[in-house]
Structure 1
Amino acid sequence: MSERLGSATLASARDAAARPAYDPASHGTGIVHLGIGAFHRAHQAVYTDDALAQAGGDWRILGVSLRSTGVVDALNAQDGLYTLLTRGSDGTTARIVGSIATAVAAARSGERLLVALQDPATKIVTLTVTEKAYGIDRAAGDVDEAHPAVAADLAAPGNPSGVLGLLVEGLRRRRLAGTAPFAVLSCDNLPENGKLLRMGVIAFARRARPRLADFIERRVSFPSSMVDRITPAAGDETLAEAERLTGLRDEAAIETEPFSQWVIEDRFPHGRPAWEAGGALFVDDVAPYEQMKLRMLNGAHSMLAYAGFLSGRGFVRDVMADPALALLVRRHMAAAAATLKPLSGIDRAAYAEDLLKRFSNPAIAHQTYQIAMDGTEKLPQRIAAPAIEALERGTPVRPFAFAAAMWMRYCLGRSEAGDTYALRDPREAAIASAVSSAGGDASVLAGALLALPDVFPERLRSDEAFRAPLVEILGRVMAEGVRPVVEAEARMVERRERG
């Protein structure tokens, strides 16, 4: 068996693997990251690795897992080092990343985490936790009191375990110690993620630490950012390939695609890494970039995930190898692009072609079932928002109705062969109730799912230009099956393209 990757074995890594172009141990920690999953290690940690190599600084990362302990144990056993595999059409490369100094499991080291948040050396807290972990009621502009972590932290704010509670307690301790507040940078796929997180943190503070809320409102920076890099779940093949390329055993190896993008509002009062060394773009307003990505990439991803999974296509690359489905992906991107305002320096047609190539990458095994999870959290931004814009602009709305119909069919929780699957959605119980009440009637099912709060706005629920094609498509899917409807929809697109 190969030796395990770590500080003592790093120098023995094979030449095929790129190693950190700096001495990791000579740089201190300046970032606490909440949510140290595969995406962070394929994205922000890599940009930080590039920044350390080019400009140095005490910007290494203390990574935090809010739930599991496995990734923490794997990283700590390797002194924070891990292998990133980049899979492209021309082969796979390996890079050992050194930007993570150590990792902490919040469930068993909560006080250690709070000490790190209080530490004056910590200048930035970054997050990739997904929207459901925040516990924010976006529509109400408040915290979600029913969220387990929010409820627990409001009851015991000095011993927090959730995102909002940890941030507020960390800021409280810094204020008491006379330490400047850290900047809080959300890297989750959410529109205006900085503004959303700022709202949630202040709302939590007003309930738990009222005198602290005004301080946070005045003094704490919450820049928004837009992130993009497809990062499939790592498997045994990932670990085996990492060992083959590095010559070292790595229990924390991950894989990703060649493309990576990070657009950031440059609002860091106490400094930041030179993330531009890795290609990050600093702008005054992230919103146009995130809207383009959410609607064109993420929206198409959601559509193809539901239609593809229900069609028996396990991976995105399988969807793109299916001519009918690939045509519907292209249609969806075009419809999404039509809802966007022009953006200087961006050719949306070229952007769409780049997305199609990325989706088709045969080396990336991105599961449609993985993308399909958390639909009620994703659809408002990815499908509902552009659908409303399409109605207002008079541009095609059917692609969004098709995506919504496929999600509704997915909500039945069973394949056409009768196999059941978990929806993996935070509102699974409400969805199950809606499905049960419909009794197999497509129109009733559509009405029940459209009525779920904060998923589809009233404008879409009541506008027949959206609702009618949705019910029609859903009814045909439930009566005829997914595949015939996909093929019929593709033929419709082909006829229109021929004129």
Structure 2
Amino acid sequence: MLPILNKEFILKKRDSGVHEKTFSFPEKILQFGTGVLLRGLVDYLVDNANRQGIYEGRIVVVKSTEGDTSEFSSQDSLYTTHIKGISQGELVDKVIINAAISRVLQSNANWQEVLQAVHQPALHTIISNTTEVGIQYVPEKVTTGVPSSYPGKLLAVLWERFSYFKGSANTGFVIVPTELVVDNGRLLKDIVVQLAVYNEMPATFVDWIHTDNYFCNSLVDRIVPGKPRNLSEIAIRAGYTDQLWIEAEPYLLWAIEGGEHIREVLSFYKGDDRMLIADSITPFREQKLRLLNGSHTAAVPLAFLSGLNTVYECMQDEYMSHFFRSVVLEEILPTIADSCPTATAFATDVLDRFANPFIAHKLISITFQESSKMNARNVRTLIRYQEKYHALPSHLCLGFAAMLLFLRPAREENGKYFGNRGQEEYVITDDNAPIFAAWWRDHTDIPAMVAGICSDQRLWETDLSAIPGFSAEVAAILASLKNEGVKAFIQSQLQKK
């Protein structure tokens, strides 16, 4: 029978990389969320810094979802991070045992312990990932019972800290939400202050929130698929069982808005130059939105309709790999390179990440809300490209045309729309599906239909028909895709290369 990954096992395992002194480090971080993103990114960075002797702090984690914490307690909160993928064209396959977490508390069962945790003077950081819907205002009393919302829990924690230290200066927190919301730190602070007013808390406490606490906007980027399917086989190879084992890609980015005080408190950033603390994170958000998310949105409808199913398959396909490289390096990158200093390096990383053989990122999943994503991610790029070169980006035009074909419904049932890929049916999960269905239903003339769609103000942030030649180019491509078939169209493009 294989041993369980825990403190006793680690101290006997000489090659674990975990030192005994790690278990005596003080708790410096309160973390809301046990999910794989935090464990694969934030907790990875803390553990990495501890190994280098930089930080020497641990994390007390709050589990807000239902269920016990026995998986963590039985393993002394140790877990394995398996980093797998492509970095700078080279295969990465590395296993690390993470000892950053000291304990995990369930919010309902252990709420008093959560509050007591902030009595520790060394604890000066709060981190969260409670999903995008977690940062929302819920009017509730926070000093009686366990608040239901994350902002409510955070306010209760701040009140406990303020009360315990009697409002002393320099007792506040650096608070870093990692939820994927623009200006997440500012939004969280606004809600916490609003909730404090709702709870009729003293003005001195609200002033303390403003003057002694730092709510930082942040951006996280790492694919962490989580627990592998073949965990039992992996355990045999590893020589121990670990129910918390997670997989992660080599790439990571954590960009945080802040100055010198933030760097001082989050000193574990020194252990990895991919954790960045800067005056503005806008360039990092822009390059992720345009290069990674934008190229996905541009390429996926065409790739899916051609018969491919994952991003990795795209990177193994002759035409789609060319499409991804062209749209990333030749069409999107030139439009942001001047405003995003790290965009060129990021573009190379993006292509490596797409080629990761260990991540099966399904194309049909990426098509969720395809038209809204096209508007948010690629419309601005189209405009910038045309303004810079007085020409149209050919691959983005092709991607736009393929999107229109993807959103062409074959049938509608109970408000749901379905498209066809050959003999296979797929669900069109797009809030704008009824709009596109109406355009396809009411127009047999493709140029007229495309012109109408391009000028439809319900769909785009601007009138796309005003971009010189765009509507006509998209209509010509769409007619070819529809009449020839996607596979035949792609084959004709390969012959031109």
Quick one: which amino acid aligns to residue 278 of structure 1? Answer: D
1:182 equivalent to 2:173? Answer yes
Look up the match of 2:223: 230
Tell me: CA distance 1:13–1:221, structure 2 relative to 1, closer, same or farther (3 Å): same
Separation of aligned partners in 2, 1:375 and 1:431: 9
Separation of aligned partners in 2, 1:198 and 1:433: 38
Separation of aligned partners in 1, 2:352 and 2:247: 18
Look up the match of 2:413: none
Look up the match of 2:156: 169
Tell me: CA distance 1:287–1:12, structure 2 relative to 1, closer, same or farther (3 Å): same
Separation of aligned partners in 2, 1:201 and 1:449: 41
Decide whether the 8 Å contact of 2:256 with 2:281 is kept in 1: yes
1:321 Cα deviation (Å)? 0.7
Identity of aligned residues (%): 24
Q: How large is the RMSD of aligned CA atoms in angstroms?
A: 4.2
- Out of 234, 248, 260, the residue aligned to residue 240 of structure 2 is 248
1:276 Cα deviation (Å)? 1.7
1:277 equivalent to 2:271? Answer yes
Look up the match of 2:139: 154
Larger displacement relative to structure 2 (108-117 or 37-46):
108-117
Separation of aligned partners in 1, 2:133 and 2:473: 30
Look up the match of 1:93: 94
- Out of 338, 341, 362, the residue aligned to residue 342 of structure 1 is 338
Deviation readout 1:303-341 (Å, 9 max, x if unpaired): 445544454433321111112222221232132212215
Look up the match of 2:27: 29
Tell me: CA distance 1:331–1:131, structure 2 relative to 1, closer, same or farther (3 Å): farther
Look up the match of 1:297: 292
* 1:51 counterpart SS class: helix
* 1:2 counterpart SS class: coil
Look up the match of 1:60: 58
Quick one: which amino acid aligns to residue 163 of structure 1? Answer: Y
The aligned runs of 1:18-417 (5 Å cut-off) are: 18-21=16-19, 23-55=21-53, 57=55, 59-67=57-65, 69=67, 72-88=69-85, 90=91, 92-106=93-107, 109=110, 112-113=113-114, 115-116=116-117, 120-135=121-136, 150=137, 153-158=138-143, 159-177=146-164, 178=167, 180-202=171-193, 211=203, 215-237=208-230, 239-240=231-232, 242-267=234-259, 268=261, 271-279=265-273, 280-333=275-328, 334-342=330-338, 346=342, 348=344, 350-369=345-364, 371-372=366-367, 381-387=376-382, 389-390=384-385, 393=388, 396=392, 399-400=395-396, 403=399, 409=406, 412=417, 414=419, 416=421, 417=423
Deviation readout 1:431-486 (Å, 9 max, x if unpaired): 5665676675685999599766xxx6532567456667667767776777654566
Quick one: which amino acid aligns to residue 283 of structure 1? Answer: A
Deviation readout 1:366-397 (Å, 9 max, x if unpaired): 44455555768866653345345446545645
Decide whether the 8 Å contact of 1:434 with 1:448 is kept in 2: no
Decide whether the 8 Å contact of 1:123 with 1:272 is kept in 2: no
Decide whether the 8 Å contact of 2:84 with 2:247 is kept in 1: yes
1:301 Cα deviation (Å)? 3.2
Look up the match of 2:412: none
Separation of aligned partners in 2, 1:97 and 1:77: 15
Decide whether the 8 Å contact of 1:413 with 1:421 is kept in 2: yes
Q: How many residues align?
A: 464
Tell me: CA distance 1:358–1:111, structure 2 relative to 1, closer, same or farther (3 Å): same
Separation of aligned partners in 1, 2:317 and 2:428: 25
Taking structure 2 as the reference length, the TM-score comes to 0.76
Decide whether the 8 Å contact of 1:256 with 1:364 is kept in 2: no
Decide whether the 8 Å contact of 1:106 with 1:161 is kept in 2: no
Decide whether the 8 Å contact of 2:140 with 2:152 is kept in 1: no
Deviation readout 1:251-300 (Å, 9 max, x if unpaired): 11111222333333344457224222133333333222332222112322
Deviation readout 1:188-234 (Å, 9 max, x if unpaired): 45554444544554555566668566654444312333433332343
1:247 Cα deviation (Å)? 0.9
Separation of aligned partners in 1, 2:455 and 2:108: 35
Separation of aligned partners in 1, 2:399 and 2:142: 41
Separation of aligned partners in 1, 2:472 and 2:241: 55
Look up the match of 2:410: none
Taking structure 1 as the reference length, the TM-score comes to 0.75
Tell me: CA distance 1:20–1:324, structure 2 relative to 1, closer, same or farther (3 Å): same
1:154 Cα deviation (Å)? 1.2
Separation of aligned partners in 2, 1:449 and 1:117: 55
Deviation readout 1:154-189 (Å, 9 max, x if unpaired): 144554333333333333333344263211213345
Tell me: CA distance 1:438–1:376, structure 2 relative to 1, closer, same or farther (3 Å): closer
Look up the match of 1:140: none
Decide whether the 8 Å contact of 1:22 with 1:53 is kept in 2: no
* 1:231 counterpart SS class: coil
Larger displacement relative to structure 2 (298-307 or 90-99):
298-307
Deviation readout 1:225-245 (Å, 9 max, x if unpaired): 3433332343312x2464244
**Higher relative contact order, structure no. (Cα contacts within 8 Å, ≥ 6 residues apart):** 1
Separation of aligned partners in 1, 2:463 and 2:14: 56
Separation of aligned partners in 2, 1:161 and 1:216: 21
Runs of at least 5 residues in structure 2 that lack an aligned partner in the other structure: 408-415, 444-448
Look up the match of 1:139: none
Quick one: which amino acid aligns to residue 7 of structure 1? Answer: K
Larger displacement relative to structure 2 (214-223 or 410-419):
410-419
1:69 Cα deviation (Å)? 4.1
Quick one: which amino acid aligns to residue 240 of structure 2? Answer: L
Structure having the higher Rg:
2
1:26 Cα deviation (Å)? 0.7
Look up the match of 1:146: none
1:249 Cα deviation (Å)? 0.8
Quick one: which amino acid aligns to residue 10 of structure 2? Answer: L
Separation of aligned partners in 2, 1:362 and 1:258: 12
